[in-house]
Chain A
Amino acid sequence: MSETKKNSGILAGRSFKFGDDISTDLIAPGRLFHLRSNLPELTKHVLEDADPEFAGKVKPGDFVVGGRNFGLGSSREHAPLIMKMAGVGAVLAKSFARIFFRNSINVGLPVLICDTDKIDEGDMLEIDLKKGTIDNKTKNLVLQFSPLPEVMIKILNDGGLVNHITKNKGFNL
């Protein structure tokens, strides 16, 4: 149903819609703190407290679409990491909390700021990371997303900060 065209900068998938203020507690709850050392197991619970069925429904390439202030709260990188491990292709929101935004780039999960009121649950989206467009195929509507800062594009292109540092033996931003 959904696919990611590797290296083309094109992502395609289905939208899973969430509201405002999706905290890291809703994405990777503290009650599962002991599973942080077992990420595949923690991934089975991704976003569980916002939508208990999400982990069972999400397919590789699908998109998480939020409202305002997505990812507020704790610094736990496990939140974007298990979304990526669950196959989420990108997170789209009207705005992001700072640490979550930075963590997402660091783990190689694209985070895009756009008007998510124009996207509903189940909409089929095609995202062109290079052009900065989100084609809502279901609604026949093209949205723009705000470009990332240059340094973040470099980190994302290297596949995250660990790879960037490994490759360059330090920062090369």
Chain B
Amino acid sequence: MDKTISEKIISEHAGRELKAGDITIVNVDLVMSQDGTGPLAVSHVRRMGFNKIKNPGKSIFFIDHASPSPRKELSNSHIVLREFAAQTGAIISDAGKGVCHQILAESYTCPGDIVLGGDSHTCTSGALGAFATGMGSTDIAVGYALASTWMMVPSTIKVNFERKINKGVFAKDLIIYLIGKITSDGATYKAIEFGGEIGNALSMDERFTISNMAVEAGAKTGIFPSDSITKEYLKSQGREDCFREVSADKGAKYEEAIDIDCSLIEPMVSQPHTVDNALPVSNLEKIMIDQVFIGTCTNGRLSDLKIAADILKGKKVAGGIRLIVIPASKDIYLEALKTGILETFVDSGAIVGSPGCGPCVGIHQGILGDGEVCLSTQNRNFKGRMGNPNSFIYLCSPATAAWSAVRGYIADPREVLL
């Protein structure tokens, strides 16, 4: 039987032939959680009576959501994770190292893997040709303890990005456009496989942005086939040996195929309070902003920071606007430091923070005031997401974010990029 990528990976891990709709127990390659979901997972592992975990070298705890900790309660949760890791031999990725999904990409995920993460954006690793999906603390606890889980093999939607990308339009605009089209539950319980002429030519950083947001359409995962671009990326991380080609069979059955003509896509925003409330920037009225945030597992990578810095070079952030920039990992931070990108940010008036999730989750480092508006490169704009239910979040690409920070309102980056 010809298979989709999901059917292929799950069949391999279950040791039998499976198709969409089948329910199975599978072995998993990587299990991770972060400081918001890890402590509960640790408590579940203990409640189940396990003193050991199955595969400690492939079990990771990330301290990234409250990093460094702004409160004693969270500091104490961090201690729980560090102690459990020390006791079981699990890996701890401590404060300052970076956002879990970025570190998985840099150091852990291999094509063909099954990755379980106690974080909904675990689908980011799908960009490497892995079956990577978010789960809650109980499933993650079982994953740590047994290195297996139960799952239903999802049906797959094939999304083909075609034609050409216009200047000023980036991967973030493509995925916001797609979610606007299929809505926030358009892919619930399903996998999305990305392809098409444009899709296949995207860089790894662009693929990560797109896979990251698959869950915003409800998807279980968002996968790119692995290819020479994947191989080059893994090589750049010193992990070439884990490359293998993962792709769908020619006759694979898709639930649906969606062709996106990228030439029709303009710079996009998601308006409050749902990601699928998508609109081209050019259709917006003049939306004044209080804060701009460039970073996160969606758009905190080096190429994102470079695009933003190129726009900001020699310019100043508009008066009254706070621009917060947070590289997604320590390696990205260091590279941005060496190449002068961080200097450009600071010089323009931006606040540069330490690697981590920053203000995206509403814990610290840029909580919004009542009535305030934030333009962010993050993946979610739900009411209350950035710590205040009386604030408003718009989502966009790093280019739109940077140019808007200069203008003081949500502005079209084509004004400066054309």
Residues of A within 8 A of B (CB): 21, 23, 25-26, 29-31, 33-38, 49, 68-69, 72-78, 95, 97-99, 102-103, 106-107, 149-151, 160-162, 165-166, 170-171, 173
Contacts and interface: CB of A to CB of B under 8 A. Distances in A.
Contact of A36 (B77, B150, B189, B218): B77
Interface residues of B, number: 57
Contacts of A107: 138
Contacts of B90: none
Contacts of A77: 37, 40, 136-138
Contacts, number: 145
A87 B361 CA distance: 27
Given A26-B383, A166-B47, A33 B66 contact: yes
A102 B184 contact: no
**Which among B37, B141, B148, B385 has the greatest number of chain A C-beta atoms within 10 A?**
B385
Nearest to B363: A33
**Which among A37, A77, A149 has the greatest number of chain B C-beta atoms within 10 A?**
A77
B65 interface: yes
Contacts of A165: 48, 142, 145-146
B71 interface: yes
A149 B21 CA distance: 11
A162 to B, nearest CB: 5
10 contacts: A25-B380, A29-B389, A33-B65, A33-B362, A49-B383, A69-B188, A73-B120, A102-B135, A103-B135, A103-B138
Contacts of A26: 382-384, 389
Given A36-B40, A49-B389, A31 B367 contact: yes
A30 B142 CA distance: 25
Contacts of B36: 33, 36, 74, 76
A37 B77 contact: yes
B66 A171 contact: no
Given A26-B382, A75-B120, A37 B136 contact: no
B138 A31 contact: no
B355 interface: no
B73 interface: yes
Contacts of A78: 40
Nearest to A108: B138
Interface of B: 23, 25, 36-37, 39-40, 44, 47-49, 65-66, 71, 73-74, 76-77, 80, 117-120, 122, 134-139, 141-142, 145-146, 148, 150, 152, 184-185, 188-189, 218, 220, 273-274, 361-363, 367, 380, 382-389
Nearest to A104: B136
A31 B362 contact: yes
Q: Which 4 A-B pairs have the closest CB atoms?
A: A30-B362, A77-B136, A103-B136, A34-B73
A102 B189 CA distance: 11
A37 B42 CA distance: 12
A91 B136 CA distance: 17
Contact of A162 (B48, B71, B188, B382): B48
A162 B141 contact: yes
A162 B184 contact: no
Contact of B152 (A23, A38, A106, A149): A149
Contacts of B76: 37
A169 B382 CA distance: 39
**Which among A35, A68, A161 has the greatest number of chain B C-beta atoms within 10 A?**
A161
Given A33-B361, A77-B40, 16 more contacts: A21-B184, A21-B273, A21-B274, A23-B382, A23-B383, A26-B382, A30-B384, A33-B36, A33-B65, A33-B362, A33-B363, A77-B136, A77-B137, A99-B120, A165-B145, A173-B23
Contacts of A23: 382-383, 385
B246 to A, nearest CB: 23
Nearest to B380: A73
B384 A95 contact: no
A107 B331 CA distance: 38
Nearest to B119: A75
A136 B387 CA distance: 37
Nearest to A39: B40
B23 A149 contact: yes
A165 B45 CA distance: 10
Nearest to A100: B136
Nearest to B367: A31
